């Protein structure tokens, strides 16, 4: 097999989730590379967290994880990065010593303004991509997410049945 062959493409439809993830990472990495040009120092993965903190104020790590729908370990690592960059301050919750509260710093609030401006450009790039491929990407993902909420993928697999292994 030539090294340049994309093995996952060859595997076809059963590996659609792999390709969705790969496409998403390619887009995120792409705008992540561009963000410094837009004066955004926040890592690409942290944009939604920064906007959440700006809109809702200080939040606990678990709350951030639940609201942006990313794993708890990923949010812990992301918050450490944001704290290292002095975009957020993390402190213990006086009411619950196990809970860590994350809030924007002044530098973080400045970044939110840059993030909002950059988001307009990112949105336009997605609109252009949607036009290019003839699919409204946002509407499509919203329909996909709604369908997955109404009937989970494991339930869909169970309805089809387990293949018999010989």
Q: Side by side, which strands form the sheet with 59-60?
A: 59-60, 96-104, 88-93
Residue 14 falls inside a structural domain: no
pTM of the model: 0.85
Domains held by the chain: number: 1
| Contact call for residues 35 and 110 (beta carbons, < 8 A) | no
pLDDT tens per residue, range 45-99: 999 999 999 999 999 999 999 999 999 999 999 999 999 999 999 998 788 777 8
In a domain, 137, yes or no: yes
Determine the pLDDT at residue 2: 62
Q: What is the pLDDT of residues 32-54, one digit of tens each?
A: 999 999 999 999 999 999 999 99
Closest CA to 107 of 148, 66, 50: 50
* Structural domain contains residue 30: no
To the nearest 10 degrees (0 to 180), the angle between helices 61-68 and 72-84 is: 110
* Sign of the alpha-carbon torsion through 28, 30, 35, 36: positive
Read off the pLDDT of each residue in 12-41 and give the average, rounded to a whole number. 96
CATH number of the domain within which 95 lies: 1.10.10.10
Owning domain of residue 124: 43-157
């Amino acid at each position: 097999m030539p090294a340049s062959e994309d093995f996952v493409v060859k595997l076809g439809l059963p590996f659609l989730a792999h390709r969705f993830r790969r496409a998403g990472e390619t887009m995120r990495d792409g705008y992540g590379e561009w963000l410094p040009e837009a004066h955004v120092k926040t890592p690409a993965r942290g944009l939604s967290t920064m906007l959440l903190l700006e809109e809702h104020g200080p939040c606990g790590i678990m709350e951030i994880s639940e609201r942006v729908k990313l794993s708890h370990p990923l949010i812990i690592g992301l918050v450490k990065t944001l704290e290292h960059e002095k975009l957020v301050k993390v402190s213990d919750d006086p009411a619950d010593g196990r809970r860590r509260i994350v809030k924007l710093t002044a530098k973080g609030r400045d970044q939110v303004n840059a993030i909002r401006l950059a988001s307009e450009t990112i949105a336009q790039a997605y609109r252009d991509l949607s036009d290019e491929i003839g699919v409204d990407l946002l509407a499509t993902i919203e329909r996909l997410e709604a369908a997955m909420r109404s009937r989970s993928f494991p339930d869909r697999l169970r309805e089809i049945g387990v293949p018999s292994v010989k």
